Amino acid sequence: GGSAGSGLTVWRGALLPVIDLRLALGLAADGLDDRAWIVVLDDGRRLRGLLAGALRDTREIRAATLAPPRDDLAANRRFVRGITTDAVVVLDAAALLNTD
């Protein structure tokens, strides 16, 4: 386990490390229900699952439009790439893949 709040699940016949984003971002972690999602990140070398309570939509966000994360945004700011003008927190997938 790591400081990001982690666990394991079986995915495609192999163990997949899973990060609980609520813990990674310093948020309260209530119980899970059967509607939770796991988003799988793969950079060709590592696989990680990200526990997500819900998935709403996807959109393209240009890195140049991001503002730096606020100091009080999260306990583990290393996982936050920036914040959009409409207050969407953009996570750093490379940082999430490199948690141990």
Q: Which among 14, 2, 76, 75 is positioned nearest to 40, based on CA atoms?
A: 14
List pLDDT tens digits, range 50-97: 888 777 888 899 989 999 877 766 556 778 888 899 988 888 888 888
Query: How far apart (Å, rounded) are the C-alpha atoms in residues 78 and 44?
Result: 21
> 9-48: per-residue pLDDT in tens?
888 998 998 888 777 666 776 766 666 788 898 888 888 8
Rounded to whole angstroms, the Cα distance separating 99 from 79 reads: 10
